[in-house]
Copies of this chain bind each other. A is one copy, B any other.
Amino acid sequence: MHKLFVIKIGGNVIDDEDNLSSFLDKFAAVGDKKLLVHGGGKIATRIGDQLGIESKYVNGRRITDAATIDVVTMVYGGLVNKKMVAQLQARHCNAIGLTGADANVLPAIKRPVKDIDYGFVGDVVSREASGVSKDPGIVSLKTLLEAGLTPVMAPLTHDGKGQMLNTNADTIASSLAVALSPYYEVRLIYCFEKKGVLENADDNNSVIPLITKDIYKRLMNEKRLFDGILPKIDNAFAAIDGGVNEVLIGDAADLQQNVTAVTKGTLIK
């Protein structure tokens, strides 16, 4: 089985040109098969502001109305994605930019309205439920990977009825990692603003190198993890339960180590 690295980068990499350029150098140099998922960054908010589109929040959570889904479709799916693809091509990495609508690689449903109407936000349909082996989107994604292409995914899906949907990039990364795990030995790498899962949130030297379910239970019992990291670890274990080999949470700057056996950051297995 070939190795496949599914690598997610967030706003801290995308928003800074030097950070991005340095990350793309390292990403292009990864020799195995790879897939990049990028978040949005602050640029959609800036362009939305310039276009006079007000950011709306309900209970502190952002709402994607009709004007906002157009902005994120063009900024994430066009500007951010295509610039990244062109810059990877310049580094001889044969990138192909995608959203969930392209080749239907990631269908979703518009989040059902309960207490809050989040607007055009996509919830990814569980791949386990739908039967991965018959999933034409995953078959297409595999065709691209086998042809030597490197998919670059924007944080967008679609509802199958013609509507684009704003979707969390962490979820896209874990969903694709799970769906591709029958075909590849997948390591899912979440690059974020810290060096890994920290015992002490303010000390980048306190990285926990390995978390298994047993270790996780113990750390929880001893209340040694800060709250903000818990959803990321839960997400990581969900990916592993779905068939992903291992998940790594670390710093984009450490990517070169993190595609080897000698990892920096937190390995979850």
Contact = CB atoms under 8 A, between A and B. Distances in A.
Interface centre among A52, A74, A77, A143 (most CB of B within 10 A): A74
Indicate the size class of the contact surface on chain A: 35 or more
Interface of A: 47, 50-52, 70, 73-79, 81-83, 85-87, 89-90, 94-99, 101-104, 136, 140, 143, 147, 149, 156, 158, 160-164
Nearest to A158: B86
Given A90-B160, A94-B104, A140 B147 contact: yes
Contact of A78 (B73, B90, B161): B73
Contacts of A149: 103, 140
Contact of A94 (B86, B103, B164): B103
A156 B82 contact: yes
A73 B77 contact: no
A66 B250 CA distance: 34
A103 B145 CA distance: 11
Given A52-B50, A140-B149, A147-B143, A99 B87 contact: no
Contacts of A86: 101, 158, 162-164
Given A51-B50, A81-B78, A94-B140, A89 B73 contact: no
A197 to B, nearest CB: 34
Contacts of A95: 101-103
Contacts of A76: 78
